[in-house]
């Protein structure tokens, strides 16, 4: 174990030993004074000294362990933040390479997180959803640019290759410990509520909730923003498409929730809302 990782344990042990030594010295001195003054039973005094030592040790250990746990939690947050910043750089580079609309991955991550919150997702599940949304198309790194940025319609063979990105993305995240629980969106965001999606043809609530939430936002973004193969749709047409896709392509309850909170969720997609 590197010396730097042992510093918290060493510090806690040293504090404990120092305070214990001080306790022994002062308590022995106090016992001697009390016993020599008469009126106190030495056995009783020794017993009280022992119980006070146990109580003091428990309080001390609680305080020391609490402080070290806070240090470790702070270090863990810094490490996690560093990981996420690195992932954001990779995703930004990927969006640029694939000629996605500016801030596409960040925007759909923020909006999917906003929809998830109003759907009642919180805690670690919300964190995993945010990471999965950010990395939803990570599997496209393994696909050729000739398919990814083709300006026209893909043929059947190219569509088959394109669809592989969902499986590739899920498999890639499974290999990273802190991303393993974030693979629902990369793997399942092209599943359909009616069972006609891919890669597994899941239906209804068989599709992970995170993927169902993200699909609503991803389709909205794909339609309302220009892509290499299509112009942007007018906003009213995009919202009509979502209404019509409810119950076939998309979870109807989540579409209704998205439309009910549309202005709020849309505002969260702006970069300044990050």
Can you read off the two tokens belonging to residue 203? 């239906």
pLDDT in tens, the chain (274 residues): 455 556 767 777 787 788 778 877 777 777 777 777 666 677 777 777 777 877 877 887 788 778 777 877 787 777 666 667 767 777 766 766 665 655 788 899 999 999 999 999 999 999 999 999 999 988 888 888 788 778 778 889 999 999 999 999 889 888 888 888 999 999 999 999 999 999 999 999 999 999 999 999 999 999 998 877 778 999 999 999 999 999 999 999 999 999 999 999 999 988 765 5
pLDDT of residue 231: 86
From CA 6, how far away is CA 68, in angstroms rounded? Answer: 12
Taking phi over 0 as left and psi of -120 to 50 as alpha, with beta for the rest, 195 belongs to left
pLDDT of residue 239: 97
Centre a 10 Å sphere on the Cβ of residue 169 and count the other Cβ atoms it contains. Answer: 24
From CA 199, how far away is CA 191, in angstroms rounded? Answer: 7
Enumerate the β-bridge partners of residue 246. Answer: 250
Candidates 2.60.40.10, 1.10.3210.10, 3.30.300.30, 2.60.40.4070; CATH matching 98-273: 1.10.3210.10
Q: Is 266 a catalytic residue?
A: no
pLDDT tens digit string along 57-112? Answer: 788 778 877 877 787 778 777 766 666 776 777 776 676 666 565 578 889 999 99
pLDDT tens digit string along 82-96? Answer: 667 767 777 766 766
Which residue among the candidates 49, 140, 150, 266 is catalytic per the annotation? 140
Torsion of CA 109, 186, 160, 90, to 10 degrees: 70
CB 210 within 8 Å of CB 129: yes
**DSSP character at residue 208:** -
Strand runs labelled E in 199-241:
none
pLDDT of residue 74: 81
Q: Which helix (H) or strand (E) holds 262?
A: helix 262-268
Q: At what angle do helices 235-245 and 252-260 cross, to 10 degrees?
A: 150
Q: Which of 103, 129, 128, 104 is nearest to 116 (CA)?
A: 129
């Amino acid at each position: 174990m590197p010396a730097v990782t042992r510093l918290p344990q060493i510090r806690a042990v040293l504090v404990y030993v120092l305070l214990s030594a001080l306790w022994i010295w002062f308590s022995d001195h106090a016992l001697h004074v009390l016993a020599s003054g008469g009126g106190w039973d030495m056995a009783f005094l020794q017993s009280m000294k022992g119980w006070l030592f146990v109580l003091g040790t428990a309080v001390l250990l609680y305080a020391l362990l609490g402080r070290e746990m806070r240090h470790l939690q702070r270090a863990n947050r810094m490490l996690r933040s560093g990981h996420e910043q690195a992932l954001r750089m990779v995703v930004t580079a990927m969006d640029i390479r694939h000629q996605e609309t500016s801030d596409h991955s960040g925007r759909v991550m923020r909006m999917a997180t906003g929809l998830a919150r109003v759907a009642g997702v919180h805690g670690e599940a919300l964190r995993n959803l945010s990471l999965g949304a950010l990395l939803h198309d990570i599997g496209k790194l393994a696909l050729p640019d000739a398919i990814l940025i083709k300006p026209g319609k893909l043929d059947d063979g190219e569509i088959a290759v394109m669809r592989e990105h969902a499986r590739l993305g899920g498999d890639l995240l499974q290999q990273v410990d802190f991303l393993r629980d974030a693979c629902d969106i990369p793997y399942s965001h092209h599943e359909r509520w009616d069972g006609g999606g891919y890669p597994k043809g899941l239906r209804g609530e068989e599709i992970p909730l995170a993927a169902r939430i993200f699909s609503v936002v991803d389709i909205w973004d794909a339609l309302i923003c220009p892509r290499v193969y299509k112009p942007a749709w007018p906003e009213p047409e995009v919202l009509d498409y979502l209404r019509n896709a409810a119950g076939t392509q998309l979870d109807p309850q989540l579409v209704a929730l998205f439309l009910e909170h549309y202005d709020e969720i849309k505002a969260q997609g702006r970069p300044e809302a990050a």
